[in-house]
Structure formats: structure tokens, C-alpha cells
Amino acid sequence: MAGREITSLLVLILIALPVLAFAIQTLRTEPSRKEDREYKEGDSIPLFANAAFPNQNPCEAYSYFDLPFCPPGDPIPNRKKSFEEVIAGDCCTNTGYELRFKKETKKKLLCEKNLKREEVAKFRDAIAADTVYEMYCDDIRLRERVGVNATYSYIEMQFFHLIKHLDFHFRYLGNRVKEVYVLGDTDSAVDVTDEEAEIKVNFTYSVIWGDLESEKENQDKVMRGLSERVGEDDPMHYDAVFISFCWLALIGFVTGPCLREYFTRPRHSHGDACRCPRYSSLLGAVLGVGIQQFFTICILFVLAYTGHLHVCSNKGLYIPLIVTYSLTSCLSGYKATSFHSGFTTHGWIECVIQTGALYLVPVILTGLVVTILAITVDEVLDLPEYDDIAYYIIIYLFIGISFLTVGGISGRTSLNESEITCSTRHFQNEITNQAWYMRTPTQMFLGGLLPFSLIFSMMDDIYASLYNLKVCGAFSTMFTAFISIIALTVFVGIIYTCSQLDKQDHQWWWRSVFRGGSVAIFMFAYGLYFYARANARISMNLIVFLGYNACIFYAVFLMLGTIGFYASSIGFHYMGRVLRRR
């Protein structure tokens, strides 16, 4: 029966891979089907301000209104957020610019601002960093500089000038806007060089309209440009995909014999009165690493909230991550050996080794495969320097392994974990013929589908936050998703385990882990759909993206699997009390 289930799973995977590849290819090459909006003369066209960022480092983006420009306009009711807006930063806010179809404006006052010293300093720093900002008008992206800086060698001084006037140029065809671009007037720019000055600035704008129908040549150029974009060369390298499968097959060939020996060798007997989980050392390692991932993520949330996590810098991201993971290794070692020692005093060293390797070894292998494949297809990776890599390895060797060993030794003497699983002596023998909806694959599918369906509307925001595309609200999005998924995993785990035990089926230990972590598989698969739509904004090819995604959601799988296990233990104890009263 197990062989047939494995064969069926492999067949499904083989069928799904070409379908996914075809879907990605179709989504990436399909032209945009969005029709231009039609306007009547005098209709208002909203202008949304999005994000500002240094021109040389878009990663350090922030909201447009973090700079002391004119205040935002009135919010537009019942406005739906587009996918392009999410991956562009998700900071779009209505501005006070009054733009009307075919209505020209000359030097209209937007607002009058009395800039204080701190506000002048913000503008000066933004100009020094060559900051640009983005706006969206009729779904057309506009960019303009905050200001200009000039250096005069003969006086060796740098001057900063704030652009206070914008010219909006619209080109229309019939009742539709076809082109929009914006130009800042540098001749009227205000000098903000003086650090002690408080400056009065009048922000103004002009609107110029042009008819494309009378410019047939320009219209043809626009149409040719559209046709060229539709027929772009496919950046997906199929030879790299083939090589990746070869590498995965090689890894399976090397590790397969070791895994087969582990899963087929004789096990220590725990007695007939106690139905204990198979491979208790591996299950303990999963629970230990899952708890470690949970606390690591919580600490990263704290660092991000306090501003100490810098995702735009390799050192600013990797060092806190590695140090946090190393320090929490004591938790994983303690929990793993304390769980395993509840069933047998043998094999605790093996349990510690499994705990240390369960997450790091797959991540290191994935990193090696992705790096080699990226080199094969001439992809440029933003990798740390060799000195930094050696530094990271030293940190984990001295801190991580030491804490893991100390935690493992401390947990070896604990015998309380067996109370979770060894109270089944009060139950009847387990049933042999399970209903289809109680089997492990079905529980994984349904147990993952329910939480995923409830957070489906947040998936674009989650992925945009993970890959630093979402600027505004990234922390609240990730934290809300984190709490929601945990709560749903606990709920599903308790309900399913109570139902399972009520049918006298006591094999819940591993099933609860797989069921709890299965939502991570759905989230990982959604990444293919997200990448197909957002690959123009993501500066990595598909293989590198999948490598990063695999490492992230493997950690999520272990964490949610652990949460699912302890949620099921709550249902186990509850059903134990219920069945004893019968």
C-alpha cells in the first residue's frame, strides 16, 4: 500500500512539473489585457504618490510622504489595490494634484510649505543620495528626482536644490490617456544647502495635453514598442532546469543509502502497553528545530520592529540571522533529546546530530546547487565575500554547535515528554481500514488547504514583503500572516486529532507534523505564480528564486509542523479524558 502511494505521488509530481512550467511560460509572455480607461473632457484623473528611494540603491525605499512634501489628498473610497501596486511598494496614496482630462493648467499652486530645519535637512539628505520618487497616473509609472546637486570645483562646495515645480505632459488618443511623463523644472529649484535655514517653498505644477491622433508617426512607434515587448526572448533557461534535476538526482543517489539504512534498521522496543512514535530521535529533531525556527522568527520580528534588521545589506541580514540561529540551538538540542529520551536512553548523540543537520544540511546543499546553476547560466548572484562566509562559519562552529551540544546534554535527563504519547494504554487497538479522508496524504492536503485558503488574499503581500518589494506595511503584513497561520494550524490540528482519536486511530504523531507543515507546501507552490507575474521586479532568475523559496518555506514547514504536533497533543489529552469517562 505504501509503495502504491509513493508511486502515485511521483506520477502526480511528474505530471504537475510540465504543467507548472507551461503556466509560468504562458503568464510571462502573455500581453497585458488591461484596457485603457475612457474619460470625458473634464473628468478627474487621480495621481498617486508611491515610494522614494536612492537611485543607486532602490532597496532602501520609503514612503513618498516620509519626505515633507505637500500633504496627501482625500482618500478615494472603494478603491481596489492592483498587483502592480503591491510589488511596486504598496505606498500609493492620493495626492492633492488636480488633473483633469484635456484641461491644461499653468503654474497652479499645490501648497505653501514653511520648511523647518529638520525638514530642510530631510530634503538635503535625499538630494545628496540622488533620491527619486515614483508616482502613478492612470496606471502609468512616473519618476522624478527630489532635487539636483551641483559641485563647483573652484570653490570646492556642493549645493543642493529642491525641485518645487513639476510639468505633467499628457498625450491622449480619443478618450483615453496613452502617455504621461513628468519633468521637474530645475530653473526654479530652491536652494536648501544652508543647514540652519528655514525656507518657505511654494510647490506648483502645470498640465500640458497633446493629441496623438494628429501625430501618426508617434502612434506607430507606440504600437511597435508594444509588439516588441510582447515577443521578448524567454529568459527561462531550460538547460539550467535540466541540470538542476540532475543535481537533485545526484543528491538523492548519495543520501539514499544512508536514509534507507536509518529507516530500515531494528528499533528499540518500548513495550506493548505504550504505542510510541517510530523514529523518535528524528521526530525529536523535527520538534527541536521547529521550536528553534519559531523563536528565531520571533527574534527577527523584534529586530525588524526596532530597526536593527537591515535587509539591504548582506552583513546587516546574515549576521543577526546566524547569531540568532546559533543562540537558539540550545533550545533545539534540549527539546530534541528530552523528547527522544522519554522513550529510550539510547541514541541521544544521534538525535543531537540529526537536530544539527536537519535544517542546515539541506540549506547548504540548496545553496551549492543554486550557485553552480547560476554560474552555468551566467547569473550574477549577490553573494557574501569569502571572508564574510568564513566569518559566518566560525560563528556557527563556536556558538551554534556549542549551544546545541549543551542543550542536548541538558535534555537527555528529561523523561517527561513521554507523557504526551505513552498514555494510549487506555485506548483500544487502532483500526486497520481508514476512511480516505483520515489518511495522511488527505490530511496533509485538507489540513494545508484550509489555512492557505484563508490567507490566500494576503499571499501577494507576503511574497512582496519577503523579497523586499513591499515598502509600506511590510512588517504588519508579515506579523499578521504569522499569527493567522499559527492560529489556524492549532485549530486544524486539534479538530483533526480529536476526530482521529474518536475513531480509535492513534497514529497521530508524524501525521500531525505533516498536516501542520503542509500549508508551507501550498505557500511555496504559490511562489511560482507570484514569480510569473513579478519577475520583472525580482532581480533573480527562476532557479535562484526557487532556491531561496525552498530554504524559507522549509523552515516554515518545520515550525508549523511542530506547532501542529503540540496542538494535536492538546487534542490527545482532551480525548484521553473523554474516553476514560466512557
**Which amino acid would we find at residue 188?**
S
**What is the sign of the dihedral through the CA atoms of 395, 396, 397 and 398?**
positive
How far apart CA 363 and CA 519 sit, in angstroms, is 20
Q: Tell me, what DSSP letter sits at residue 416?
A: -
**Closest by CA position to 311, among listed 59, 545, 551, 547:** 59
Count of other CB atoms within 10 angstroms of residue 394: 10
How far apart CA 69 and CA 112 sit, in angstroms, is 10
How far apart CA 30 and CA 48 sit, in angstroms, is 27
Q: How far is CA 119 from CA 115, 123, 132, 188, in A?
A: 6, 6, 17, 19
Task: For the chain, 582 residues long, give each residue's pLDDT as a single digit of tens.
Answer: 444 444 444 444 544 454 454 444 444 444 343 456 788 888 888 889 888 989 888 888 888 889 999 898 888 777 777 777 777 777 888 898 999 998 888 999 988 989 898 988 999 999 998 999 998 888 888 899 999 887 766 666 788 899 999 999 999 888 888 889 899 988 888 888 887 788 889 999 999 998 877 655 554 544 443 333 333 334 444 444 455 555 556 556 555 565 555 445 554 444 433 456 777 888 889 999 999 999 999 999 998 888 888 777 766 788 888 889 999 999 999 998 888 887 777 778 888 898 998 999 898 888 888 877 777 766 666 666 666 777 778 888 888 888 998 888 888 776 554 444 444 444 344 455 666 666 778 888 888 888 898 888 889 889 988 888 888 888 888 999 999 999 988 888 888 777 776 666 667 788 888 988 999 999 999 998 898 888 767 777 788 888 889 999 999 999 999 998 988 888 776 766 666 665
HSE-CB for 199 with a 13 A CA cutoff: 24
Q: What is the pTM of this model?
A: 0.76
**Which amino acid would we find at residue 372?**
I
Count of other CB atoms within 10 angstroms of residue 347: 19
CB 571 within 8 A of CB 512: no
Note the pLDDT of residue 73. Answer: 83
